[in-house]
Each structure stands twice: as C-alpha cells, then as structure tokens.
Amino acid sequence: MDTYGIIGWPVSHSLSPAMHNAAFKALGIKAVYGLLPLHPSKLKEGIEGIRVLNIKGVSVTVPHKENVMAFLDEVDNIAREIGAVNIIINQEGKLFGVNTDWIGAKKAIEQKINLSGKKAVVIGAGGAARAVVYALVKGGAQVLIFNRTYEKAQKLASELGGEPFPLSQIKNATGDVLVQTTSVGLNEDQSPVPKEILSRFKVVMDIVYKPLETRLLREAKEAGCEVIDGLEMLVYQGVEQFFLWKNIRPSAELMRKAALEELSGEKNGR
C-alpha cells in the first residue's frame, strides 16, 4: 500500500487526510494519507525520511513551503517563480517540488468571476499570497497588494506583478475582487478589512476555513458581495495534487464533502 502525507508544524488541524483518503477510497486505490508533523529544525532530515521510507508523495504546508525547496532534487518553473512548493512527488527516490496552490486559487475565484481585465485586491504578502497573486496575474487581473509590512508587499509586487500598499491604506481600496490571505480570522472573530469598504467589491474570498464563515465573509455577505470560503482553494489545489500523484482527478465535490464532515466532527468534539 502506497503512503502519502502532509508535512508542516503543526499539522493536526489539516483537512487534507480526510480529503485524500476519501478520494482513495472512492476510486478503489490502495493507499493511505496521514499527518507527518515536522519541526522546522528537522526539515532536512524529514525530507530524507521521505526517500528512505519511500513515501510516494507529500503535501507541504506552513512553515515549510519556501524552505523545503532547498532540499529537493528538482523544483518546477512555476513553483520556483512563486517561490513556494506545496506538493512533493517521489519518483524512485528523486523528489520533485510543484505548486498547486495557485491553480486552487484561480479555479476557486473563476467559479465566480472572469479575472481578465478585473481589479483585484490582495491582503497579505506571505506564501499563500504569492500563489494567489500569481493566479490573479495569470488570469489577467490588475493586482493591488496590501500588507502590514510594506517592504514585503513591495518585494512580492516586484517579483510577481502588482502594486504595493501599506495595510493602513486599505480604507481607500476599490476593485472587483478582494482576497484575504493572512491568518487573521483563524479561530477568532476578527477581520483585517473594514466592513464599510466591502460594498465596493463584487467578490470576496477568504483562505481561512476555520471557521468556514469568517467575520470577513459574514460582513461581505451583508454588503451584498458574492463570497468564496477557504475550502474552495484547499479542495481545488488538493484535486491537482491527487492528479499529479495518481494521474486521475477525483471529484472536487467528494473532497469538499469529506472536508466538511471533518470540520463538522471537530466542531462537535469528535
């Protein structure tokens, strides 16, 4: 039986095992996907462990998406351009790094709006923001990046495209799409976006999925926006990961259902 998993620190919150194991089962594939907690100080040894134990593939989550690249045999051009890897493929001991986060972001947003010629505002400038900005630029959008540390927004804009702004100027932001990529709102009733500006946008997306309806999304709905919850990007990037490992795309709906069941179980204290 082939083994897959997710590396990160921490990883206990991850919904990826529920999604991938549901897909393996539905497709009759003899494989298992588990949690592989990996402390940042042990990253090099952990990556070697993937080879030694012949783990066929792993998802990569925070804080390893950028640092893991140094320990892989090959990183594809898009992942290198984004500057982050979120999936490793083990081909007979050779480890290949790829990024499917950007595909997840693009598919999630394009369910609601055609990005070509649109104006998109991104909150944040970390690893997730890099994939989102790449997706928006590839989709043909004009991108504005707002971040608490202005220098990070500048760096991201210069590398991938877009116009940088300090987060303190968010009250002046306008556009068609707003994407929130920071951890603000994760298990807390907080939002980095003042609710009075939300009515200026058609679509609002939050990559946080705990809770599924963050304060930002709740206030965006009240402002009349279409909203995209954090599960959409997670599910679509997961579908692409599965395809790269097994050359078959599982149902996105199946993966979303499995993730929702896992979230519901956690909420009820399972």
Task: Report, as residue numbers or ranges, the catalytic residues.
Answer: 65
Distance CA 86, CA 88 (A): 7
- For 240, the 3-state DSSP assignment is helix
User: 4 with 53: CB under 8 angstroms?
Assistant: no
Residue in the structure block whose two tokens are 């490793």: 88
Do β-strands 142-147 and 119-123 pair in parallel, antiparallel, or remain unpaired? parallel
CB of 38 closer than 8 Å to CB of 64: yes
Q: Which residues contact 267 (CB under 8 A, 6 or more apart)?
A: none
| Spatial distance between the Cα atoms of 178 and 227, rounded to a whole number of angstroms | 10
> Hey, what long-range contacts does 112-117 have (CB within 8 A, 24 or more apart)?
112/203, 112/226, 112/228, 113/176, 113/177, 113/202, 113/203, 113/226, 115/139, 115/140, 115/141, 115/177, 116/140, 116/141, 117/141, 117/142
**Nearest Cα residue to 213 out of 235, 223, 228, 234:** 228
CA dihedral defined by 122, 182, 230, 111, rounded to 10 degrees? 10
